[in-house]
């Protein structure tokens, strides 16, 4: 009679371990479902710029392809991250923003 109770322990333990390791990443908004990366610029900028080459031409082309309202929001966020680079969650955010704001 104790066998069913023991067989329930393993799945329950797996669920708890998954919840304590995966859920915080989702809750923080840091898991990028397109790349599987937990270090995503989407958390910082609202868009994922990890695939944008870090050249002035590539960054400008990317920004010019965004809707105007989105571009304004990204540029405002970049201005903020240039003033307070330590507040960015992703290292890539500061690198992208440095080029985006021209500094």
Contact (Cβ atoms closer than 8 angstroms) between residue 85 and residue 94: yes
43 and 66 both lie in a single domain: yes
> Could you tell me the two tokens for 26?
């989702």
Q: Which domain holds residue 92?
A: 31-103
Q: What is the pLDDT of residues 51-99, one digit of tens each?
A: 899 999 999 999 999 999 999 999 999 999 999 999 999 889 999 999 9
Give the predicted TM-score (pTM) of the model.
Answer: 0.61
59 and 102 both lie in a single domain: yes
45 and 75 both lie in a single domain: yes
26 and 51 both lie in a single domain: no
52 and 81 both lie in a single domain: yes
Q: What is the pLDDT of residues 3-19, one digit of tens each?
A: 555 565 655 545 554 55
């Amino acid at each position: 009679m104790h066998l069913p109770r023991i067989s329930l322990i393993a799945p329950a333990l797996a669920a708890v371990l998954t919840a304590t390791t995966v859920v915080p990443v989702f809750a923080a908004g840091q898991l990028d479902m397109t790349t599987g990366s937990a270090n995503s610029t989407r958390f910082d900028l609202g868009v994922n710029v990890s695939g944008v080459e870090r050249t002035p031409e590539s960054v400008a082309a990317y920004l010019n392809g965004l809707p105007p309202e989105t571009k304004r929001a990204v540029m405002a966020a970049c201005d903020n991250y240039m003033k307070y680079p330590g507040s960015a969650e992703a290292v890539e955010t500061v690198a992208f923003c440095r080029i985006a704001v021209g500094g």
